[in-house]
Amino acid sequence: MDQMFTRAPVKVLVLSALFVLFLAVIPLCADIYSYIDSQGVLHFTNVPTSAQYTVYIKERSAGPLSYTTNQYDHLITGASKRQGVSFSLLKALIKTESNFNSEAVSRAGAKGLMQIMPANIKELKIKNPFDPRENIMGGARYLKQLIKRFNGELPLALAAYNAGPSVVERYQGIPPIKETEAFVKRVLKYYAIYRRG
């Protein structure tokens, strides 16, 4: 009788440990869904609560516990040195914006690795937003401008990168937009991961 009571907890512990290990190798994906309500407001979520939501951004998994590719590291390094913006921060922004897809285009028209909006493409004098070198250099230059504009407060600069600087200034902080709040958190999460190497 005593053996039954001692073996059962051991089995539970072993099964629990195996389950945790199983979860650790499942690729992490965070698809973004959207829908436009009757008032014309665009809603975003990573957990759709109704059939009205459709996939807005499909995150491709890079594999178990993989957060990166080294494909663009030489370009990110060049932009980092030239613009004085952290390599890890630029890489985190690219991961969040396009998942390293140089041909990415959002519904709003943002293009390339750093998902630069058409107005900014023109302002930054980017000739081909799908050219990784131009896109990364232009995005790094724009991020540097935002960091300066928001006095080095990185969360505000990132919110401005996503929602626009005037929106951040209007709210005097990160605007209460779910997409923007999630964006800032994701960039900061990947930034921490890349800084740890």
* Residues known to be catalytic: 97
Alpha-carbon distances, residue 104 vs 62, 90, 101, 126, 132 (angstroms): 16, 17, 5, 16, 11
Q: Distance between CA 114 and CA 83 in Å, rounded?
A: 15
Residue 64 CB burial class (10 angstroms; 0-12, 13-18, ≥19): exposed
Q: Distance between CA 168 and CA 44 in Å, rounded?
A: 18
